[in-house]
Amino acid sequence: MKHSPDFSTDGNVHGRILVGIDFSHPGRHALIRARALARDGGGRLMALHVIDGHGLEEIARLVEMPLEEVKERLWRERRHQLAELLVEIDAEEGEAPAMEAVVAWGVPFEEIVRKAADVSSSLIVLGTMGRSADLQRALFGSTAEKVLRSAPCPVLCVPTD
C-alpha cells in the first residue's frame, strides 16, 4: 500500500526516515543527509544495516565454526560498527535527531523495502557512487535500483560528489 510522504511546505520531511547503511563512503554521505533531513523536519531516523548471509555456510565450514557462531559474531561486529559510525557522525555533525539503529539479516533491497513498509517510512535515503563514466551503474547500483522499483515511499539517492 503506497502512502504519501509528509512533506512540509518548506520541503522538510516529517515522520520516519529510513537510511540504508553499508559502511561505504556513499552510505556515510546518505546518513549525514538523512540526519539533516530528520533534524530539520522534526522527523525520526532509522539507520538500517542489512547483513546478506549468502555464503556464510561455506565460511563456517572453512573456519571450522558452527554456522550459528559465525552468524552471531558477524551480527555483533556489524552492530558495533554501526554504533561506532553513529557516534562518529554525531561528533562531527552535532545534535542528532531521534534515531534507532537496526541490524537485520536478508537480501539488502528486500529488507530495506520491508522495513520501510513495516514502520511506515516517509522517505528512504541511500548512498550512491556519484559520477562515473557508467552513469546508470554509478547512480543506481543494484540495491538502490531495486529499492527504487519497489519502495513504499519516496527514495532519495545521495551521491558522494
How far apart are the C-alpha atoms of 124 and 21, rounded to whole Å? 11
How far apart are the C-alpha atoms of 85 and 67, rounded to whole Å? 27
96 pLDDT band (50/70/90 cuts)?
A: confident
| Domain presence at residue 25 | yes
Q: Annotate 99-126 with b (16+ C-beta within 10 A) or e (fewer).
A: beebbbeeebbbbbbbbbbebebbbbbb
The answer, yes or no, to whether residue 10 has pLDDT greater than 70, is no
| Domain presence at residue 1 | no
Residues, the chain: 161
Q: Would you say 79 and 103 are in contact if contact means Cβ atoms under 8 Å apart?
A: yes
| Domain presence at residue 67 | yes
pLDDT (mean) for 75-102: 91
State what percent of residues in the chain have pLDDT above 70.
Answer: 83
| Domain presence at residue 7 | no
Q: What is the domain count for the chain?
A: 1
For residue 97, the model assigns a pLDDT of 81
For residue 5, the model assigns a pLDDT of 45
For residue 136, the model assigns a pLDDT of 54
For residue 2, the model assigns a pLDDT of 39
The answer, yes or no, to whether residue 63 has pLDDT greater than 70, is yes
- What is the three-state SS of 32-65? HHHHHHHHHHCCEEEEEEEECCCCHHHHHHHHCC
128 pLDDT band (50/70/90 cuts)?
A: confident
CATH (domain of 28): 3.40.50.620
| Domain presence at residue 22 | yes
Which residue range forms the structural domain that includes residue 92?
A: 13-158
| Domain presence at residue 3 | no
What is the average pLDDT score of the chain?
85
pLDDT (mean) for 95-100: 83
pTM of the model: 0.83
Q: Which residues contact 124 (CB under 8 A, 6 or more apart)?
A: 17, 18, 19, 20, 112, 116, 147, 151, 153, 154, 155, 156
Per-residue pLDDT reduced to its tens digit, 31-57: 999 999 998 888 899 999 999 988 889
Written as nine digits, the cell of 148 is 527504487
| Domain presence at residue 30 | yes
| Domain presence at residue 6 | no
Give residue for cell 535515503. Answer: 125
**H-run or E-run covering 8:** none
The answer, yes or no, to whether residue 9 has pLDDT greater than 50, is no
The answer, yes or no, to whether residue 133 has pLDDT greater than 60, is no
